[in-house]
Amino acid sequence: MTADSSTILAFRSLTVCAVLSQAILPACAQQSFNVSLFDRQRVLKAANQYLSEKPITITALSSPRSAGGTHDFFSEADYWWPDPKDPNGPYIQRDGMSNPNNFVDHRRYLMRLSVQVPALVAAWKLTKDKRYAQRAAWHLRAWFLEERTRMNPNLQFAQAIHGRVTGRGTGIIDTIHLVEVARAIEVMESSSALSANELKGIKQWFADYLQWMTTHQYGIDETAAFRRSCAARNPTAIRYSISKRWRQPARYFRRRKTISGLLNCLTAAACERPSHTWRLI
């Protein structure tokens, strides 16, 4: 993804974020500016483009450097390069210098999902045209339900460093974009584009992912890091932990006395910095 395309996606994200935030974030209701009316055409233009795009999940491409399987998300740390003195040996770090040959395709596919689904759901919210919700549902089935294309609910192989580690806890940040998808799912539940069993299956995927994050050492390490700073480490867990329908995750965060801090981060991000933190929802 080029810098220009990333800028375009971020620009579009501000509008769709506001549309969906009006539906699910009461804390933002006090803002009088009606983005839904002001930028309706921009939202629909983006959604109409996505109506013709097919789902692309992580099963579409794999890396020979991944220690996982076809359904496992894989990414490599940006600042690590082959060692000129030992090209086949462990990578070495070049701080601040991104290696353009590292594998980031799964990250791009996830970003693509986080752009398409919220835009389509926002368009459905504005127009009630079922085509948008049905297309969003197609993407969700491909990513979270269909055996051939679904992603396993963990990030065990994210932010790997060739020859050193097959994955790291910091890789959880690669799913920051899933928070946009999670919030869009809540908005589209009443659209009937997904059956009750499909919604149950998708929620189970997120429950399994949350279970992995709260029990695997990577997730435990990142939760500890989250307590030290309000960083975008674990946004999917945040979104589902504050939902009444996800009481077990909520108890997990309450036991650790982190829920108030997480809620503060969520509200600040959605109301004050949507283009930076929430991107497209």
Q: Are 48 and 154 in contact (CB under 8 A)?
A: no
| pLDDT attached to residue 26 | 52
Q: What is the pTM of this model?
A: 0.73
**215 is written with which tokens?**
């029990």
| pLDDT attached to residue 123 | 95
| pLDDT attached to residue 31 | 53
Q: Report how many domains make up the chain.
A: 1
What mean pLDDT, rounded, does the chain reach? 77
| pLDDT attached to residue 237 | 52
CATH number at residue 49: 1.50.10.100
How confident is the prediction along the chain (281 residues), in pLDDT tens digits per residue? 444 454 445 445 544 555 555 554 454 444 566 666 777 888 899 999 999 999 999 999 999 999 999 999 999 999 999 999 999 999 999 999 999 999 999 999 999 999 999 999 999 999 999 999 999 999 999 999 999 999 999 999 999 999 999 999 989 889 888 888 988 998 999 999 999 999 999 988 988 888 888 889 998 887 766 554 444 444 545 454 434 444 444 454 444 443 333 334 433 333 333 333 233 33
| pLDDT attached to residue 58 | 98
Q: Could you tell me which residues are beta bridge partners of residue 86?
A: 83
With b for 16 or more beta-carbon neighbours within 10 A and e for fewer, the 195-216 pattern comes to eeeebebbbebbeebbbbbbeb
| pLDDT attached to residue 227 | 54
What range does the domain containing 217 cover?
A: 3-278
d(CA 20, CA 179): 12
d(CA 71, CA 61): 10
| pLDDT attached to residue 260 | 36
d(CA 145, CA 266): 27
SS (H, E, C) the chain: CCHHHHHHHHHHHHHHHHHHHHHHCHHHCCCCCCHHHHCHHHHHHHHHHHCCCCCCCHHHCCCCCCCCCCCCCEEECCCEECECCECCCCCEECCCCCCCCCCCHHHHHHHHHHHHHHHHHHHHHHHCCHHHHHHHHHHHHHHHCCCCCCCCCCCCEEEEECCCECCCHHHHHHHCCHHHHHHHHHHHHHHCCCCHHHHHHHHHHHHHHHHHHHHCHHHHHHHHHHHHCCCCCCHHHHHHHCCCCCHHHHHHHHHCCCHHHHHHHHHHHHHHCHHHHHCCC
Q: Are 189 and 125 in contact (CB under 8 A)?
A: no
